């Protein structure tokens, strides 16, 4: 086994949460090892993955503060001015915002945010990128520095703090002995861009139809005639859709959308993702912390996962900076991060899961309940104000 270097922090995972956390530590005088299984070329130019990220105003402010916002091409940023929730064949819609009002948020392709984040950490003082390297084992020990990370080539890295940012199925979380509530939902989400006849008007639609869930997200397009279509079905049905020819796929999607969009044409590639939600039993402990999906893996229906990940890394970075030369791996210090992020996450996680259960259950009582819930939400000003504040705060 080869003995490697010692760092203040070892971050495992160079996804959005891991990169944002490293960037949030800029100027703190800390040495950081950023460990990522993907090759550096893939970090430098991430492949298009079909996902459009709905950013809240808070997340936009964070990206600006980190110097990421200006790295994202302006013509790929789509305003989100209104959001609608539909149920089955009902014409009623629970609506947030107004199409001619200030934007609720924005939609940006995931790969462009990832590229901007990576560019922002390149050359950052104190950061050592270890790309194309995987973690074979890690542990927190009694001796200082507590953290020990063993890479796949046998190199051992020591760190005062290990930060897991390696997905909702985090291997680091498992190796640290942290349990998690994991729900594999047996459904998959397919995302793709489609051109259509009707202008989208910068309106996002979430449609809980019988047997399927469809989201239509406005994509930046001069004519407003391209949308990101997100379809959720049983995993085998999604797999079958991805094998159709572009022409057959367009016909099938027009049938599934039941006239809501016409003249459909596939633009680019289709991408499928199995759905699972996770809630870690602990977010931090002596010598370690979990951020992003490693801490909380949200259902995508309310689009809060990415924003919650940015908020969590911001909280952890603030807590680490507050040590001011003290023990950044102290369990007592990290407990403040755990308390704050659990408080920010709990209601969103449970509420989203409850929403998914209500709107995907196909029994007659459930159908009646969700229709009543939508109408009650539309006329309840405090409820709408809370949701809008979550989007725009």
Domains and CATH numbers, the chain: 3-66+112-182+277-357 (3.50.50.60), 80-104+185-276+362-392 (3.30.9.10)
Phi-psi region of 50 (alpha: psi -120 to 50; beta: other; left: phi over 0): left
Mean pLDDT for the chain?
Answer: 91
228-282 confidence digits (pLDDT tens): 999 999 999 999 999 999 999 999 999 999 989 999 999 999 999 999 999 999 9
Q: Is the pLDDT of residue 370 over 80?
A: no
358 or 83, greater pLDDT: 83
The per-residue pLDDT for 227 is 98
Give the residue-averaged pLDDT of 372-388: 54
Q: Is the pLDDT of residue 387 over 60?
A: no
Yes or no: say if 32 and 128 are a contact pair by the CB < 8 Å rule: yes
Query: DSSP assignment, residue 154?
Result: S
Give the residue-averaged pLDDT of 212-227: 96
Q: How confident is the model at residue 303 (pLDDT cuts 50, 70, 90)?
A: confident
The per-residue pLDDT for 134 is 96
The per-residue pLDDT for 359 is 65
Give the residue-averaged pLDDT of 155-164: 97
Task: Give ∠ CA 274-59-34 in degrees, rounded to 5.
Answer: 70
The per-residue pLDDT for 385 is 52
Query: DSSP assignment, residue 49?
Result: -
Yes or no: say if 283 and 342 are a contact pair by the CB < 8 Å rule: yes
Structure tokens at 29: 């005088």
The per-residue pLDDT for 165 is 98
* Percent of residues, the chain, with pLDDT higher than 70: 89
């Amino acid at each position: 086994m080869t003995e490697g270097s010692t760092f203040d922090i070892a971050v495992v995972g160079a996804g959005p949460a891991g990169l944002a956390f490293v960037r949030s530590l800029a100027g703190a005088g800390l040495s950081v090892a950023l460990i990522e299984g993907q090759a550096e070329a893939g970090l430098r130019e991430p492949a298009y993955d079909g996902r459009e990220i709905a950013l809240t105003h808070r997340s936009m402010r964070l990206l600006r503060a980190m110097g990421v916002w200006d790295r994202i091409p302006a013509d790929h940023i789509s305003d989100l001015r209104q959001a609608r929730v539909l149920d089955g064949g009902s014409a009623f819609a629970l609506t947030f915002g107004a199409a001619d009002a200030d934007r609720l948020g924005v939609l940006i392709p995931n790969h462009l945010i990832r590229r901007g984040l990576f560019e922002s950490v390149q050359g950052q003082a104190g950061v050592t990128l270890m790309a194309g390297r995987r973690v074979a084992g890690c542990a927190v020990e009694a001796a200082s520095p507590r953290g020990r990370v063993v890479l796949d080539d046998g190199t051992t890295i020591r760190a005062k703090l290990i930060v897991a940012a390696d997905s909702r199925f985090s291997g680091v979380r498992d190796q640290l002995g942290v349990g998690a509530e994991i729900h594999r939902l047996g459904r998959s989400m397919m995302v793709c861009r489609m051109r259509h006849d009707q202008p989208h008007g910068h309106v996002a639609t979430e449609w809980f139809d019988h047997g399927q869930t469809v989201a239509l997200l406005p994509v930046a397009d001069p004519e407003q005639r391209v949308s990101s279509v997100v379809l959720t079905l049983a995993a085998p049905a999604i797999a079958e859709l991805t094998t159709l020819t572009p022409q057959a796929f367009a016909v099938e999607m027009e049938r599934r959308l039941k006239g809501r969009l016409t003249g459909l044409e596939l633009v680019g590639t289709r991408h499928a993702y199995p759905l699972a939600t996770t809630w870690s039993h602990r977010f931090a402990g002596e010598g370690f912390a979990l951020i992003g999906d490693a801490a909380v893996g949200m259902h995508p229906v309310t689009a809060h996962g990415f924003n919650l990940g940015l908020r969590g890394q911001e909280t952890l970075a603030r807590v680490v900076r507050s040590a001011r030369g003290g023990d950044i791996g102290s369990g007592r210090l990290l407990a403040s991060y755990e308390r704050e992020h659990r408080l920010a996450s709990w209601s969103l996680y449970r509420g989203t899961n409850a929403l998914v259960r209500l709107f995907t259950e196909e029994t007659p009582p459930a159908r009646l309940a969700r229709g009543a819930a939508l109408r009650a939400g539309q006329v309840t000003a405090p409820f709408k104000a809370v949701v809008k504040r979550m989007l725009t705060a």
